[in-house]
Structure 1
């Protein structure tokens, strides 16, 4: 089953704009479909394509990069013979898959692009990890492109709901609620997205098995084990900290504040000890980090406090399987409870994680805001996410609060709006109900996050 992915159009744009003058490097977590989309692109858009998977490439192939970069005629002849693919000048694509596993191939891009005969796509994760770049010169002839699990829109396409997506966007633009039955339908698709997530094989198994959650859940557990296996191979200096945070993500997100309190992770620990840990999780794109913005102003990153962080799992479907063991899912029918809005436990965790996932897929860096009241001895203002329009001419903030239930207060949002009223564009509450405007605050159903 083919899945329609937005990144395909971005690859088309790269091919047209660059015309062989730049390679493109697709970064993403493992098992999100990087290789599949590259092969599909090569098959559809070129006369021939050749893929070198450096996770299993033969030693002689790697030797070609060591011996023949000064003799590219021989280099291409050997590759063509090894993979049984004829290469056509300006009409063949060469794909370096899992390029982080052989950094010399990435370094070779400089010479291959300069040669100009073919187009090149690299795929990988952990692209910036020190071990993967320490001995090479990073080529400037690379354009970077991040790829994520299927976003909500792509998931809905897979379910055959293109028209529903168009209707959702239309309602957001015209600031009106969806017709009741279509709102209910959109919420059902959204809850399925929470449960299944956007890992391509998980989605395919769900659809091919008549929307059965069992086979999809097993695939997600296999992926989580793969991630754990990857972690166990990293530098021993910070391996235990990475595995500790990875294992504790569901527990950390189930707390009221959701941010990581390091002394609770391990007694006596502090944020500085986990710098490499979060870099690894972020660079592998297993997680989506959200930092505290202490003073929401021009350039959120200029005011981020990296000692205060929330760590979301990159795919919410994986979080569901991570949070509940297999027997718990099956015996207590967690899936059915979530679909029926009867699982109060951890529902806020899943809602906030999926909104983080959707905002990240839309290209937003994640920030949150809290205000501590000395008088009350607690945080009296909490904004789950802060977006900006990134314009220094008319800079505006867009605060977002995520509510998983129908009954909630908006005290924090009103207080934040009052405190920073000169800087705010629009305020959003994301809730399970239909579109509405309340006290000048735009309240949207979670599926409308695709419009932000």
Structure 2
């Protein structure tokens, strides 16, 4: 399956020319190993993949015994793996490198040697347990791999041209037209339900069977639960409680995570390490509250208010409807045709957060409350900054609407109160493109283009 990260790997190869190793971070089952092996086959004369989840002690011992003698190191590595290495034309991959930190520490010496290129892949790499006792090599640059985005999903379904039209209409702020909008929304709803985990997407492409897709997603959810119990050193209970509570919290109207639902009189500082663990594991996307809709969100971040989205919306659906182990095809059909009576806003807001992260955005929202002043009672779902900052008008305020009937009180209030800070006001909804009262309305499938 075609992934956009492939172009970033190619850019690294051509620009770094062996001066750095590349670390690909991402959640479990996100497709890291698949895309790296495809890249190695296509772009190098030969390659070696060392999977530290399934390798011999002999291979591991090489890092302890022969780093001072790299000629011998590479000779033994080539013999053990049965691969002939060619200087500047071979790639060595450390897969699941977090399971053997000595290999990650060795990158410093291997890159300096400059004979070969190096890529590392890892899940939970940035969690403290996996870097204890080693020095993170400065010769390492990293990129994050996310679930498949909407365009990658379309490619997997054999729909290669629709996104070109979507991009053109977005650039010109023109409607798609009834037929093309209906087609795009049909694909988008399939993407929302299936999600972007490659195994689930592949199963859907092969079978169009939602129950088989759901089975794949539940395998991944069980892996995540096992990781929590295995890796969350002392935080297992808190991390597990947050993970299990995500659907209920997103079902609430405000969607802000209410810590008191986990433990009476608990505060965010009691759970901040647990949220960090889930975020580092790429299981969730945390959206922080900013106390002012202005650039420099970190400067105005409210550490006591956040939203916690699942990193993949397809997983959220399976996580939410798990009473009978496998989500029935009937539930999926009702989701597909918008006939299930529940707060679909949780899914729509979650998929928007997922698409914004895939597009490179950090997640922030704006919330203001005052008992005395109604003008100060507002909540904006997402804040996105302009690519190039100017003196004023740098922030786009985004509201996400799942239904066809809604109010825009918060978007009106934020313009009146913070007009000098606001660049655009956007509504992401299920209808076509339009501009009305200085508010740009965009269909949900255009979110990746913001």
2:167 to 145, 154, 169: 169
The one-character-per-residue Cα deviations of 1:230-277 (angstroms, maximum 9, x if unpaired) are 000124421110000011111110011111111112112110011110
1:147 alignment counterpart: 145
Note the C-alpha offset of 1:79: 1.1
Across the aligned residues of Structure 1 and Structure 2, the Cα RMSD in angstroms comes to 1.5
Q: Secondary structure at the match of 2:115?
A: coil
1:424 to 416, 422, 425: 422
CA drift at 1:298: 2.8
Kindly indicate whether the alpha-carbon contact (under 8 Å) linking 2:46 and 2:89 is maintained by their aligned counterparts in 1: yes
User: If the length of structure 2 is used for normalisation, what is the TM-score?
Assistant: 0.97
Indicate if the aligned counterparts of 2:283 and 2:310 stay in contact, CA closer than 8 A: yes
Paired residues of 2:169 and 2:176 also in contact (CA < 8 A): yes
Q: Distance between the aligned counterparts of 1:102 and 1:307, measured in 2?
A: 36
State the 1:376 CA deviation.
6.8
Partner of 1:231: 228
Equivalence for 1:269: 266
Matched, 1:294 2:285: no
User: Residue 350 in 1 paired to residue 347 in 2?
Assistant: yes
Structure 2 residue 103 is matched with structure 1 residue 105: yes
Correspondences of 1:118-137 after superposition (within 5 Å): 118-137=116-135
Residue 372 (structure 2) pairs with residue 375 (structure 1): yes
Aligned to 1:400: 398
Deviation string for 1:312-345 (max 9, x for gaps)?
Answer: 0000000010000164865571211121122241
**Structure 2 spans left out of the alignment, 5+ residues:** none
- Conserved? CA contact 1:42–1:93, under 8 Å: yes
Work out the CA distance in 1 between the residues paired with 2:413 and 2:340.
Answer: 30
Q: In 2, are the aligned partners of 1:359 and 1:450 still within 8 Å (CA)? A: yes
* TM-score normalised according to structure 1 size: 0.97
Query: Matches of 2:283 and 2:126 in 1, distance apart?
Result: 14
Q: Residues 52 and 94 of structure 2 are in contact (CA less than 8 Å); yes or no, is this contact kept in structure 1?
A: yes
Alignment size in residue pairs: 449
Q: Is the 8 Å Cα contact of residues 28 and 285 (structure 1) preserved in structure 2?
A: yes
In 1, distance between residues paired with 2:214 and 2:449? 29
Deviates more, 1:258-267 or 1:103-112: 258-267
2-structure distance, mates of 1:325, 1:131: 31
Counterpart of 1:93?
91
Q: Does 2:178 align with 1:180?
A: yes
The equivalences for 1:26-37 within 5 A come to 26-37=24-35
> Which of 352, 357, 365 is equivalent to 1:360?
357
* C-alpha contact (below 8 Å) 2:293/2:422 kept by paired residues: no
* Residue of structure 2 equivalent to 1:61: 59
Query: After superposition, what is the alpha-carbon deviation per residue over 1:71-106, rounded to whole angstroms, capped at 9, x for unaligned?
Result: 111111111111111111000000000111111111
Structure 2 residue 254 is matched with structure 1 residue 257: yes
Aligned equivalents of 1:34 and 1:329: distance in 2? 27
Q: Does the 8 A contact of 2:318 with 2:327 survive in 1?
A: no
